[in-house]
Amino acid sequence: MIALYTLLVLVTVAVVIFGAPPIRRVLLSNRILAVFRKVMPPMSQTEADAINAGTVWWDGELFSGKPDWERLLGYPKPTLTPEEQSFLDNECEELCRLCNDWDTYAINDLPPEAWQYIKDKRFFGMIIPKEYGGLGFSAYMHSQVITKLSTRCSALAVTVMVPNSLGPAELLLHYGTEEQKRYYLPRLAAGEEIPCFALTSPHAGSDAAAIPDRGVVCKGMWNGEEVLGMRVTWDKRYITLGPIATLLGLAFRLYDPDGLLGAEKDLGITCALVPTDTPGVHIGRRHFPLNAVFMNGPNWGEDVFMPLDWIIGGPKMAGQGWRMLMECLAAGRSISLPSSNTGMAKLAVRGTGAYARVRQQFNLPIGKFEGVEEPLARMGGNLYMMDAARRMTAGALDLGEKPSVISGIVKYHVTERARDVLNDAMDIQGGKGICLGPNNFTGRAYQQIPVSITVEGANILTRSLIIFGQGAIRCHPYVLKELTAARQNDARAFDQALWRHISFTLCNGARAFFMGLTGSHFVRVPANVAPENKRYYQQLTRFSAAFAFVADISMAVMGGELKRREKLSARLGDILSLLYLCSATLKRYEDEGRNAVDKPLLDWAIWDAMFKAQSAFEGVMSNYPNRVAAHILRWFVFPLGRPYVVASDRLGHKVAELLIEPSSTRDRLTADMYIPREDGEIIGTLERALHAAIAAEAIEAKVRRAVKAGRIEARSPEETAQAAVDAGIISAEEQTQLARAAQLRNEVIRVDDFPPDLSLTDHARSDAARAVA
């Protein structure tokens, strides 16, 4: 009776405290707020600009612990207009025909006719609206173009990609004065101006906000008149298109020591457009980034006077440069590298799959050996997921989103998976992948992967600092509200956010635990999902709840310290990213009409991702600074142990099979890639060789059986085939098929060679490349 009475009193006290905000505030929230304000990490303006930039989209659902799958499936499938489709099928196809990886390497540039075509067809104006002379393409179309160009020539893709990514055009569109837009945008769209954007300096790479480049507001002579301007000194490197640019987008820190613009002395990072023929602008020589031939180099200037009107958006935008860059970063980062890397992966998958069927060792196509199947399966599963994420993210941009956290996720994960795909492709091809020349279809892409890893936010930094660091604040339903309330010392708002946050955390913990105990079998999923994927939706809901719970507990246990614990932050970011990649993969399956024949690709990708997510959880818990909290987390998240295992060998076998023979699945997986039809082009030859090899396999088997049975004698392949015809084992027509397969196989396995000193003039290199068996 006393116990019951005590319990009743406790419950009443709890209800009064937690249910009555004024009492709760006085007794608890205000005290917590005081502590919170003391331990809260300081945030610079540049950090705040980065965190506040962009929008929250599907990442917010994943952070909620309860993703609304109906919402995911309701997002429209990205599509092209007839005009866009025609551009992809005609202009893009033609541009691919004009360039190839090897010839660009041989001349260290794109061929002049490709440059002209790019300008004539306004490839530099994909993001520029038609009213300014651009093509006004959707984000999805922009992504399709970059993907397609990357299946042909990486230098071509980068050259087209950069003017359409974060740079002069994008910044002008958002912040330019009408006069700047009317002057520059049509010129940029027509390729009359070649733009570049110079942010990186020798002493500020990843920490770009720390650029030492500076401008000082002052008066000076301009066109014979004294005007208010700035004297700018800068030293930049690694600037893509820099060596040939006519218009330099320049980021520097602007100071106003004499107060000519107002009271502020340090105005902050500022972006200006500087014609490169301005006296004092030095465009240096070229860098040679891993043999990539797109233009890239340093530039510098000392005390170069320029009018304030050159600031993008005019003088009122002085000091707003960092905010502008952060706000615009998501669009380019969501498209450029995810698309170019998906393109390279398509090329590697289609080509290597065919090669693995055509190339024989030990009397078998190498793609049929279990050891080779394993990397083939990785290549297929990775590409299916990469392309799904690329498309879904481009679709988000077309819905008006600027998904900053997601842009970091796709930049990091698509480029890392492309690196895996290319590594696997190289291993499978052996020496064929290593010897460069016109007959090598992956070596150049392989060489250039580190460029993708490094630019637009280097990958280690993106994973360790940005994805979870920004996600935890932006995508979380309450953290930003709490931080804002604490900064403003708003007790009421803090109290509201805090208690909702606490109940959110407890609820996710309980849900994660229950779903862990029941194998998430009771999770409700919308009736309209593909029934064969229902379990995936259920398991992802479980992981989403577990992730939200672990993220909250980590923030509570480590607070601001979590920012320095980059390894833990990286693993939490991995879980969020994998949830996003799985969502995109499930959406792709639905958007493509639930092709059952593609299901092994989806299954492999999701199993692999779930296993990786589980390992990331484990990595967080094993390294948790507080061991008690670690045990509690493990108990909540994996109450019955770790349920996920690696994708099975049987599944991997099915995926590998899909890559080594022609099928609608293989076509969808490598959709919209450029496949040259002309003779002598390795990818086209590989396609023909693949068909011929498959047609010849049954005939070869008949011949082998006859040899084994002693009916004919094994000699050279041609002689054995003739003996098989003479003995009535195969027909003359079958003999012709064997000969055709052998001839195409010979062409495919060829590698190039060069004079011993490799000292050819650039133009002669490709002509002198002699293909030998």
Ligand X SMILES: Cc1cc2nc3c(=O)[nH]c(=O)nc-3n(C[C@H](O)[C@H](O)[C@H](O)COP(=O)(O)OP(=O)(O)OC[C@H]3O[C@@H](n4cnc5c(N)ncnc54)[C@H](O)[C@@H]3O)c2cc1C
DSSP code per residue over 130-168:
GGGTS----HHHHHHHHHHHHTT-HHHHHHHHHHHSTTH
- Return the closest-CA partner of residue 101 out of 59, 37, 29, 152: 152
* H or E element that contains 360: strand 360-361
For residues 615, 473, 558 and 563, what is the CA-based torsion angle, rounded to 10 degrees?
80
Q: Interior CA angle at 697 toward 694 and 703, to 5°?
A: 160
Q: Which two tokens mark 384? A: 């299916």
Q: Which two tokens mark 63? A: 């952070």
**What is the 8-class DSSP label of residue 78?**
P
44 vs 716 by CB, closer to ligand X: 44
Say which residues have a Cβ less than 8 Å from residue 76's Cβ, sequence separation at least 6.
395, 399
- Return the closest-CA partner of residue 265 out of 318, 311, 221: 318
Residue 361 CA to residue 45 CA, distance in Å, equals: 61
Ramachandran class of 680: left when φ > 0, alpha when ψ lies in -120 to 50, beta otherwise:
left
Q: What share of the chain is helix, strand, coil (3-state, %, to 5)?
A: 65, 10, 25
DSSP code per residue over 490-505:
-HHHHHHHHHHHHHHH
456 assigned to active site = yes
206 vs 518 by CB, closer to ligand X: 206
Q: Which of 91, 373, 456, 482 is catalytic?
A: 456
* H or E element that contains 302: strand 296-307
Residue nearest to ligand X (CB): 205
| Shortest Å, Cβ 36 to ligand X | 25
**Position of tokens 């709890």?**
14
327 vs 608 by CB, closer to ligand X: 327
Q: Which two tokens mark 354? A: 């065919």
Residue 117 CA to residue 112 CA, distance in Å, equals: 9
240 vs 533 by CB, closer to ligand X: 240
For the purposes of burial, counting CB atoms within 10 Å of the CB of 334, is it exposed (0-12), middle (13-18) or buried (19 or more)? Answer: buried
The residues binding ligand X (CB under 6 A) are 196-200, 205-206, 238-240, 289, 296, 451, 454-455, 458, 460-461, 464-465, 566
232 vs 742 by CB, closer to ligand X: 232
Q: Which two tokens mark 583? A: 């969502």
311 vs 601 by CB, closer to ligand X: 311
95 vs 199 by CB, closer to ligand X: 199
456 vs 608 by CB, closer to ligand X: 456
Buried-exposed string 138-147: b where 16+ CB fall within 10 A, e elsewhere: bbbbbbbbbb
**3 state DSSP class of 233:** strand
464 vs 554 by CB, closer to ligand X: 464
Among all residues, which ones are annotated catalytic? 456
